[in-house]
Structure 1
Amino acid sequence: MNRKYSFCTICARGGSKGLPGKNIRPLNGRPLIAHSIDQARKAGIFQAVAVSSDSEEILDVARRNGADCAIKRPAELATDTSGKMPAIIHALQELETRFGIIADFHFDIDATSPLREPEDIRACAKILETTGASAVFSATPAHRSPYFNLVERGEDGRVYLSKSTPEAVKRRQDGPECFDMNASIYGWRRDALKSEQKLFFDDTKLYVMPRERSFDIDDHLDFEIVSMLMKKRKDYD
């Protein structure tokens, strides 16, 4: 992967509703976003690691914690209804302009998934380089199955399994293999990302991570769980 040009972005809005200020909230002695910056840098495969945010406070924290670039996100890309993909594209364009490089690959990792390892990022990069896939993303084996214990409720109030098979699945383990997107690592071939601006291509690949590295922080309970797991891992190391 080092033979190729690649960038990494970390997109972090300032207006979190589930846990206000979570992107820079102290987690085991460091701002939450600092853990992802550190992991991206330790992966050793990126020309630059950039943080994109509408918040000057977040950008300042990013600079002080090792980000190569702090990219101010336009207000129209930072509303409660804004999708993430336009922010990624904007950051990629900024990076290519600043460095004068057209990347071969682009990665985006979530600030709210700090339990990944640099090796996970490198493994995703290897998948892209060796398979020729347009995109790759990380996931973990699903704890719930749409064929067994994930249900929906229809407009008429009827409750039913989200998916079915010709024969009823009697044990979760007997159903088709399912995965939870763990909001940790996303990677693309640059041209596929720029032209299609999506994740799911016909050749998109999956990188499977263990559950203990796949927690995504959305609220206070998630934060406490991740803090406990991180401390346990540090004590074990």
Structure 2
Amino acid sequence: MSDILCTICARGGSKGVKNKNIRQIAGLPLIAHTINQARECGLFDHIVISTDSDEIASVAQNYGGEVFFKRNENLASDNAGKIPAIRDALIRSQEHYKREFPYIIDLDATSPLRLASDIKAAFKQFIDDDNDILITATPSRRSPYFNLIERQSDGSINLSKPLPKAILRRQDAPQTYDMNASIYIWKSQILLNHDELFLPKTGLYIMPQNRSIDIDDELDFMIVEHILRSQNA
């Protein structure tokens, strides 16, 4: 019996791409790609869907997702954070299945380019490093030390993070990463008691750029669909 709960959060009110969680992409509803990866990785007894949408719930169940509750409206608004929704899914799951899950892995439905092997490798790293939380990211294409700028209140601009000594090449800047909203792992007691992602024992699993696109708008959707169709071909 697996100690790990899988959650997939998918609310119905997406704005950047209408109905994106169930929109067809490379032959499947978007959420189905993530459910399939969760099933393929073999880590989970239960893949729980947290949604406020009956339509998303129906589609997810058709592909093996488990839907035994409807997410409350206050956890599904445009202003609601994701961590409270994941925590809610954990609490409900432990009550529903009448057991505790020491670990929880949340997979974002809008990041379908991950592989099942990424989920397994991220969890192995989490256990090996004794992390409390693990997040995934990809090396950033732009650096706050070199070419990301901010406008100040007086209208002047400057580097987001100026160094004491100016650098002439991006390669000489400290390495930075973009969170890719793909895989989040918690020790359950940490999730139940903390709202922050960045704790002293937060780990970082690095993924390549070609598996790190999070769908926020139509351009992202087109790019991801092209990559998925190329992979399937």
Cα pair 2:2 2:45 within 8 Å, conserved = no
Structure 2: which 5+ residue stretches go unaligned?
none
Task: Give the secondary structure class of the aligned counterpart of 1:69.
Answer: coil
Cα pair 1:59 1:70 within 8 Å, conserved = no
| Aligned twin of 1:60 | 58
Distance 1:179 1:219 in 2: 21
Distance 1:94 1:15 in 2: 22
The list of structure 1 runs, each at least 4 consecutive aligned residues, that deviate by more than 4 angstroms after superposition, is none
Distance 2:69 2:145 in 1: 43
Deviations 1:11-63 (A, max 9, x none): 11101111110110100110000000111111111121111111110011110
Instruction: State the Cα distance separating 1:98 from its structure 2 match.
Output: 1.3
| Aligned twin of 1:226 | 224
**Alignment partner of 2:17 out of 11, 16, 19:** 19
Distance 1:54 1:133 in 2: 31
Cα pair 1:50 1:71 within 8 Å, conserved = no
Distance 2:156 2:198 in 1: 31
Instruction: State the Cα distance separating 1:198 from its structure 2 match.
Output: 2.4
Distance 1:30 1:78 in 2: 24
> Letter of the aligned partner of 2:8 in structure 1?
I
| Aligned twin of 2:67 | 69
Instruction: State the Cα distance separating 1:72 from its structure 2 match.
Output: 1.0
| Aligned twin of 1:9 | 7
| Aligned twin of 1:91 | 89
**Alignment partner of 2:170 out of 163, 172, 189:** 172
Task: Give the secondary structure class of the aligned counterpart of 1:51.
Answer: strand
Distance 1:10 1:201 in 2: 23
Higher mean C-alpha deviation, range 167-176 or range 209-218: 167-176
Q: What are the residue-to-residue correspondences of 1:162-201 with 2, within 5 Å? A: 162-201=160-199
Task: Give the secondary structure class of the aligned counterpart of 1:186.
Answer: strand
| Aligned twin of 2:126 | 128
> Letter of the aligned partner of 2:211 in structure 1?
R
Distance 1:87 1:201 in 2: 19
Task: Give the secondary structure class of the aligned counterpart of 2:185.
Answer: strand
Query: What number of residue pairs does the alignment pair up?
Result: 233
**Alignment partner of 2:46 out of 45, 48, 52:** 48
| Aligned twin of 1:210 | 208
> Letter of the aligned partner of 2:9 in structure 1?
C
| Aligned twin of 1:138 | 136
TM-score (norm: length of structure 1): 0.95
> Letter of the aligned partner of 2:70 in structure 1?
K
| Aligned twin of 1:147 | 145
Identity among equivalent positions (%) equals 47
Cα pair 1:150 1:162 within 8 Å, conserved = yes
| Aligned twin of 2:155 | 157
Distance 2:192 2:73 in 1: 21
